[in-house]
Amino acid sequence: MTKSALQIERAKYAPKMPKALHGNVKIVSGKNTESIADQEEIKNLFPNTYGMPIVTFQESDVVKQLPVMNVGVILSGGQAPGGHNVISGLFDGLNKLNPKNKLYGFLGGPGGLVSHKYLELSAEIVEEYRNTGGFDIIGSGRTKLEEEDQYDKGLEICKELNIKAIIIIGGDDSNTNACVLAEYYLQKNAGIQVIGCPKTIDGDLKNEMIETSFGFDTACKVYSELIGNIMRDANSAKKYWHFIKLMGRSASHIGLECALQTQPNVCLISEEVAAKEQTLQQIVDELVKIISDRAANKENFGVALIPEGLIEFIPEMKTLIAELNELLAEGHATAEAFNTQVTDDEKRDYVISRLAIETSKVFKSLPKGIAKQLTLDRDPHGNVQVSRIETERLLIEMVEKRLSVLKKQGETKVKFSALNHFFGYEGRCAAPSNFDADYCYSLGQTAALLVAEGKSGYMASVQNTTEPSDQWIATGVPITMMMNMERRHGLWKPVIQKALVRLDDAPFKVFAAKRGEWAVHTSYVYPGPIQYWGPKTVCDASTKTLQLEKGKL
């Protein structure tokens, strides 16, 4: 593998850890826990993993002699910066516990466990990936572990390799599946522990016990650099509005964090749109007003941040998408009839004729290109693929249309030229920031200790992360503690509750207090690239979201 100068120097970086993880540790148990909601239902579904205590690791003078353990690790779902450091922390943690311990990586995600595809991770392999981005050490995948035959296939390979524990590194769905797997193996008395690690750049896997999901810090810094570059260009050319869609289908954490870092003229927050029950036209009217106000100040340029999942948070659009999902569901007669239509106009007319009256009005109001995107092939669950919908393009076209009407009425002379962007994959595999490198390495070490203590159905957690890293606290949190029952694809299922942007929390309140000023005045901040060497205030700082949540800003 050819390495750049940066990679060579970055490989030398020694991640910082909580003080307790540097030497011998003891485990301290707290009070028994319960799920955040639906306690009886969750308890009945998870009799072996429900109600366990939160555990904390503290310094100890006692040296423990531990037997040899073989452990498996899985990267699940989309990539996030820092995954390789979780694995290197896990590898080093297991080696410290007993040099004869072995770590096996299942290839291509959870599917590797089922198909028995694996790689023994040697010191030479792990060394190549320290402090690097991506998941390419073993690859990832989106296979969901939901069926007993999958669990049994996993059991077969674990017995063959003498694996005593599996670490699943993933988001809320992956960690939900980890807990289900832990419960199943305990019921079977299989002797296999399952531990989770919190990963997602979207930032929606967090709660009272999980302060942040890894990768969020790095991804937001990458996006903020790009946004700052565009802002500098916009402020130089002074003739374009840039509409930038950012990752975040289920929550707007990325958009909010990037707004706090860069101070754009507009940042839409999906959760606020839903709370206010705004229509698409109301959003467009707000954009037109800001564009007009800036034009009045002779600033015919600007930057607007748009969350990827916005369209599903607009009530009328949510209703439309639900009707389309039903109408175009695979195997339904209406879907088959739709596919027999030849031209795009015929397909459009067919859909309009089958929608409810109010919903059809919404569909007809959309630009034809966007309306077509809403009728494209569904995902494996039968839902519209939101990432394919150019929401930023939709808003541009509707703003142009509205301004055109106002011009004809003699109500405005605003010049509006817009460019659209989507920042997504650019941030998923970046070299992790110091924060994510340290945080992920600590998560891996914590996961190793949870295995050593015989725990299963736990998620590794590192807390107090706005303080210097030696003051961080390594803990294990029962996954059932984070669960509630939600309706998924027509069935009630136990899932880890997603963390949406809270409109009553400090990050949103600070943003809301400033956005009026940012809208009219050019107040751009240019964060620049991630810094790996230099002052701690520049290199080691966590996100503004986390600092505001902890009262540090």
Just list the catalytic residues: 202
- Which residues, other chains included, contact 389 with Cβ-Cβ below 8 Å and sequence gap of 6+? 311, 370, 373, 374
| DSSP 8-state code for residue 199 | B
The CA distance from 390 to 217, in Å, is: 25
Angle at 499 between CA 223 and CA 202, to 5 degrees: 20
Q: Who's near 439: CB < 8 A, 6+ residues apart?
A: 82, 212, 214, 217, 462, 465
Q: What are phi and psi of 303, to 5 degrees?
A: -135, 130
CA–CA dist 307, 35 (Å, integer): 30
Residue with tokens 């607007």: 304
**Chain center to CA of 253:** 9
The vertex-444 CA angle with 438 and 450, nearest 5°, equals: 135
233 three-class SS: helix
Tokens of residue 302, six digits: 């600007």
Integer Rg of the chain from CA: 25
What distance in Å separates the CA atoms of residue 295 and residue 289, rounded to the nearest whole number? 10
Q: Which two tokens stand for residue 386?
A: 């939101």
Q: How far apart are CA 201 and CA 223, in angstroms?
A: 11
Q: Phi/psi at 368 (nearest 5 deg)?
A: -55, -40
* Packing angle of the helix pair 315-327, 357-365 (nearest 10 deg): 100
What are 246's strand-pairing partners? 307, 423
Contact 419, 243 (CB under 8 A): yes
Chain centroid to Cα 357, Å, comes to: 36
Phi-psi region of 162 (alpha: psi -120 to 50; beta: other; left: phi over 0): left
Helices (runs of H) and strands (runs of E) counted in the chain: 23, 15
CB 203 within 8 A of CB 213: yes
